[in-house]
Structure 1
Amino acid sequence: MRKITLSNGKTVEVECLSCALTSGLIEPDGGVIFETEHFHAHQDVAYPIEGLVILASKRHIKCLDELTDEERLDYINALTKIRKAQREILCIDYVYYFYNEDTTHHFHTWLVPRYQWMNEFGRSVESVRPVLLNARNHRNTNENHQKVMSAIEALKNGLI
């Protein structure tokens, strides 16, 4: 079991955070943004950034090449739909996509938006970690939480 601190300050103890989220054991802030037969999209639970979406496989696998043909098609369609909503609804021009196999969670992709406030950390993949830490440590305010929740609702409504 791992202890994980969520962006709302709560600590949970789970074996696999992705399994806990996709099964409904843990409810992410704002709930499920979008769901397909094989994937579950939600606001990242650790970093309060508007429009930061995690697309997680419902099946506990580690690698992209473990997806079935049906899951691969579902994945790319879901990823595309979410990205289009980020652009059209939240006016997010740029996104970093992250997927790694060296994780304690199962297969998931991060869609990390770029905002003006992030420029002080640079504009490369190396800037993302400092951006995430800044969000966790300095953007956990009521005002920012409301912005994150509004973004979640806007995406949910746009992805119906």
Structure 2
Amino acid sequence: MREITLSNGKTVEVECLSCALTRGEIEPDGGVIVETEHFHAHQDVAYPIKGLVILASKRHIKCFDELNDLEKVDYINLLSKIRKAQREVLGIEHVYYFYNEDTTHHFHTWMVPRYEWMYDFGRSVESVRPVLLHARNKLNNDENVKSVIDGIKALKKELYT
């Protein structure tokens, strides 16, 4: 079991965070953004940044090459659909995508938006970790959390119409 700190400061113990989220054992802030037969998208549970979406496989795999043909098609279609919604509904012009195979849980892609305030931490991929920590430590206030939840609602509305 691993202890995970959520963006709201609460901790949970899980074997696999993605499995717990996709099975509904942990409810991410704002709920599920969109899901398909093979994937589940939600606001990142650790970092309160509006539009930061995690796209996780429902099947417990770790590597991109483990996706079957149906999952591959579903993945790219859903990833593209979410990205379009981020741009059109939330005005997010740039996104960093992260996927790693040495994760302690299973296959997921981070879609990390780039807002103007983030450039204070730099303009490269190296700036992302300080941005995330800043969000966790400094943006867990009522006003920002409301903005994040509003963003989730806007994405849901766009993705389900």
Structure 2: how far apart are the matches of 1:105 and 1:121? Answer: 28
- Tell me the CA shift for residue 105 of structure 1: 1.2
Deviation per residue, 1:50-102 (Å, 9 max, x gap): 00000000000000000000000000000000000000000000000000001
- Tell me the CA shift for residue 33 of structure 1: 0.1
Q: 1:120 — aligned with what?
A: 120
4+ long deviations beyond 2 Å = none
Q: 2:57 — aligned with what?
A: 57
Structure 1: how far apart are the matches of 2:46 and 2:91? Answer: 23
RMSD: 0.4
Question: What fraction of aligned residue pairs are identical, expressed as a percent?
Answer: 78
Q: 2:146 — aligned with what?
A: 146
Structure 2: how far apart are the matches of 1:43 and 1:60? Answer: 19
Structure 2: how far apart are the matches of 1:100 and 1:4? Answer: 18
Segments of structure 1 that go 5 or more residues without pairing to the other structure are none
Q: How does 1:27-66 map to 2 (within 5 A)?
A: 27-66=27-66
- Tell me the CA shift for residue 114 of structure 1: 0.3
Structure 2: how far apart are the matches of 1:122 and 1:84? Answer: 25
Partner SS for 1:51: coil
Structure 2: how far apart are the matches of 1:12 and 1:129? Answer: 22
Structure 2: how far apart are the matches of 1:122 and 1:10? Answer: 29
* Amino acid across the alignment from 2:16: C
Partner SS for 2:81: helix
* Amino acid across the alignment from 1:144: N
- Tell me the CA shift for residue 36 of structure 1: 0.6
TM-score where L is the length of structure 2: 0.99
Pick which of 115-124 and 53-62 moved more: 115-124
Structure 2: how far apart are the matches of 1:123 and 1:34? Answer: 30
Q: How many residues are matched?
A: 160
Partner SS for 1:7: coil
Partner SS for 2:93: coil
Deviation per residue, 1:6-40 (Å, 9 max, x gap): 00111100000000000000000000000011000
Segments of structure 2 that go 5 or more residues without pairing to the other structure are none
